Chains A and B, each alone.
Chain A
């Protein structure tokens, strides 16, 4: 494929969804749609990013997101380097800015960063000369996750506008939730958050969502049910009393799902805690569960992001 006059992307970095427009999001999703086809063909390799260097800088453990970014870069022909905390100088006490300056001196074209602190990618973006993609920062945003979720929904439902989307679980600590809320609001969906009072930020309504504390109310007539992962350390009496109580009130099972629309789609960013936030019967139901498709769209969306962010500086 030769794209002689590619349309430029309006942003230098992909740091958060909040600053994207409807046009930006559609541009990414449309391009990702074509990459989804490429990924399904036998010859997946392209040479669009031949000669470009992509560094994945992961300050948190990650398997699926890192692999997804790595595959996306490789399928576009880039040279991909993974740096994870365990094997880097970070362990020796180097600051984020020093690491950034060091990497910058190697002239990468794209830096993908995941960091436990909200705002770390923004700091990095100020210090390097290349494009920065936020691969998840603290409890702030995980923009490519929201984009892949949007692509999955669009493919299944044909649209985003007007859909009722219920995001369920630990909203407070979830970067996935924040990115999805931002994206869905921009695209005109109706967003609800459902979870215990202890896991929903006190000013959640100010994010433009409807807040529910009962699944029976929050899931009513929902087109999309997005389950979030509940971290184990939050389950033992500090935020919720126990796993069994959490599952009883907020775990997704057939009964709780019965109030949603009959064609409701179930999503989960993974990795799942079966029996904590989701029942296996639902997670494994290929008709209602889009969980595998989300992973597939992840690669396509990341290919689109890498493509768009490297345009213009060839």
Chain B
């Protein structure tokens, strides 16, 4: 007997991998995409198929979030694989790239296996793992990239820490290139950033907070790109937020280097004015920038200098945010709001929908070497349904993450995820 087929019909199919935007349907069999296209309508379905009408809403490949902190193991009071999985599903994210800033740090191959197993049993969406760039994220000795790679890590990174020692960075890039592992960096010169909590500029001056000059980003990008040129490594800047750094990226890409750049929704949607009244919930690292930098980020998303938008989901407990600004821990949650916030770029006419989705599907899948982010026959049915128009107001308390440190509390957003499938099974429905 044939396995039951589930038919999603009357959808607007978006596939950024093939730049397809058509009306039609998609068939799921045994958790995989059996077929999709305009020929799949309610009048032409396999016998015995269960049918679901998508009401004309968009159906797209599940998002791949290239950068999130899941806090498990060791920081379960902030987030768990289970709560992160629910938040991801509610945001249309079907694959999360988990960063190694856990306790213990994921710098040991044995831990990779443990975390992968834990994710499989408790997280509703797929989890891939980024291993540590240096042992203990201490920036002193490179981690065992080879063994980590064999254990299954998709990249190496020290997360929120930049490598101060340029010689270490040089060797780490050379060594990582041997295993074709992308090195994901926090592009901010650590000496210039030390102790700073806000970007240098008008706001910082008036607020009397220790600031980080925006050139701290460009300086590190310049430095690393020269090392990339020498070593031939794959290098990815996790979150660029300044015009100068983006200009440098643009040049490096024109030179044909294997470099890519990411950013996060808060860098294209918010600027440093958000920090008025010392709002610690908008404190992120690198800090929110001045308006002209934000506009440069949008420009870079548009022209492809920025390849990837990721959530940079970093749960922090309320206790670590309800303190004087300089003492507050940086970071915001973002799995659930990544797409709706980024849809602003679409509504404002800055970026078309397929290009926008590309930055959250095909591009991150390519960076991490994942078979995900595309509507492909025979691939896992990791897909989601969304409405670009539906308005809603973010209420931090209603978000599914264990920690509620969103920078968008109270914001009015347009566009919402309606339903998410992982391997053909619904893991979220509005």
Contacts and interface: CB of A to CB of B under 8 A. Distances in A.
A237 B135 contact: yes
B174 A197 contact: yes
24 contacts: A196-B175, A197-B174, A197-B175, A197-B178, A198-B171, A198-B174, A198-B175, A202-B230, A236-B141, A237-B134, A237-B135, A237-B140, A237-B141, A237-B142, A238-B171, A240-B175, A241-B141, A241-B142, A242-B144, A244-B147, A245-B145, A248-B146, A248-B147, A249-B146
B293 to A, nearest CB: 36
B177 interface: yes
Contact of B231 (A197, A236, A240, A244): A197
B10 to A, nearest CB: 52
Chain B, interface SS category: helix
B145 A241 contact: yes
A197 B177 contact: yes
Interface in A173-206: 196-198, 202
A241 B171 contact: no
Contacts of A242: 144
Contacts of A236: 141
Main SS at interface, chain A: loop
B82 to A, nearest CB: 32
Nearest to A240: B175
Nearest to B177: A197
B203 to A, nearest CB: 40
Interface residues of B, number: 18
Nearest to A249: B146
Nearest to A195: B178
A244 B143 CA distance: 12
B147 A196 contact: no
Interface in B104-158: 134-135, 140-147
B17 interface: no
Given A197-B175, A238-B142, 9 more contacts: A197-B178, A198-B174, A213-B178, A240-B175, A241-B146, A241-B175, A245-B146, A248-B146, A248-B147
A217 to B, nearest CB: 12
B144 A241 contact: yes
A202 B173 CA distance: 13
Interface string A211-251: 00100000000000000000000001111111011001100
Nearest to A237: B141
A196 B147 CA distance: 14
Contacts of A240: 175
For B134, B141, B168, the residue with the greatest tally of chain A CB atoms inside 10 Å of its CB is B141
Contacts of A244: 144, 147
A245 B178 contact: no
A181 B405 CA distance: 60
A249 B178 CA distance: 11
B178 A241 contact: no
Interface in B88-117: none
Residue of A240, A241, A249 with most chain B CB atoms under a 10 A cut-off? A241
Nearest to A197: B174
Contacts of A237: 134-135, 140-142
Interface string A39-53: 000000000000000
Interface in A18-74: none
Interface centre among B134, B143, B175 (most CB of A within 10 A): B175
A239 B146 contact: no
A294 to B, nearest CB: 30
B364 to A, nearest CB: 26
Nearest to B174: A197
Contacts of B175: 196-198, 240-241
Which 3 A-B pairs have CB atoms at the shortest separation, nearest pair first? Answer: A237-B141, A197-B174, A241-B144
Nearest to B231: A197
B144 A238 contact: no
Contacts of A239: 171
Contacts of A202: 230
Contacts of B178: 196-197, 213
Interface string B174-204: 1101100000000000000000000000000
Contacts of A249: 146
A197 B180 CA distance: 12
A298 to B, nearest CB: 34
Contacts of A198: 171, 174-175
A240 B147 CA distance: 12
A238 B143 contact: no
A244 B109 CA distance: 12
Given A202-B230, A248-B146, A238 B168 contact: yes
A244 B174 CA distance: 19
Nearest to A213: B178
Interface in A242-280: 242, 244-245, 248-249
A249 B146 CA distance: 8
A249 B177 CA distance: 15
A236 B135 CA distance: 10
Contacts of B135: 237, 241
Contact of B147 (A197, A213, A238, A245): A245
Determine which residue in A197, A240, A242 has the highest number of CB atoms from chain B within 10 A of its CB, and name it: A197
A201 to B, nearest CB: 11
Interface in B212-227: none
